[in-house]
Amino acid sequence: MRDRDVRSALLQQLRIAYAEDGDTRIVQEMGVWSGAVRIDVAVINGELSGYELKSDKDTLDRLTYQAELYSRVFDKVVLVAGLRHLEKACHRIPDWWGVTVAELDGGAIKLRSVRAPVRNQSVEPYLVAQLLWKDEAIAVLERRGLAHGWRAKRVKAIHERLASELPLDDLCEQVRSTLKTRNHWLRQNASC
């Protein structure tokens, strides 16, 4: 069972789950920390949810690091792992992460939820703001009347301003709204 097989099964499951929800966008390989790392699949709607895949062919070498980073940005995260990694992987992720096992069943990948995700209480505003590109971040500042004198600033300073000026709920809503309408992602997205 390979990563692409697990990814295909997950994307199919998500497309079905959100088929009637025009306010949801599903994105593959979404950059986090200004693109330094990428979560395998993100679901953007009233929450920002991430899905990290660890097929039986993968290693868990980066999982602890990924868990630390994703836990500072996403409202919910689900680890989708093959049986080979399930026990070890569960020891490397926070308790609030969801866990789904990917199993072969008659030649097809079946996904079975083992633990439902719980809402993250440790989202960091600056890292959420970093999900926006500079022009997107300026547009949010403009909508709030906070852009005067900031258009020529470095993107890091603009992200810091967003994080300090907007209440976290408002910032998260603005970021999700912007990400749902973004047209040029690094990789092809799987929109519902």
Write down the pLDDT at residue 188.
Answer: 38
Is the confidence at residue 167, as pLDDT, over 90? yes
| pLDDT of 192 over the 60 cut | no
Q: Domain locations in the chain?
A: 3-115, 125-181
Higher pLDDT among residues 70 and 32, named by residue: 70
The pLDDT confidence band at residue 183, using thresholds 50, 70 and 90, is: confident
% of the chain at pLDDT higher than 90? 78
Q: Which CATH number fits domain 3-115: 3.40.1570, 3.40.50, 3.40.1010, 3.40.1350?
A: 3.40.1350
Q: How confident is the model at residue 24 (pLDDT cuts 50, 70, 90)?
A: very high
State pLDDT tens for residues 29-64. 998 877 778 999 999 999 999 999 998 888 899 999
Select from 76, 52, 50 the least CA-distant residue to 62. 52
pLDDT at 58: 87
Distance in angstroms (rounded) separating the CA atoms of residues 13 and 124: 29
What pTM value is reported for the model? Answer: 0.91
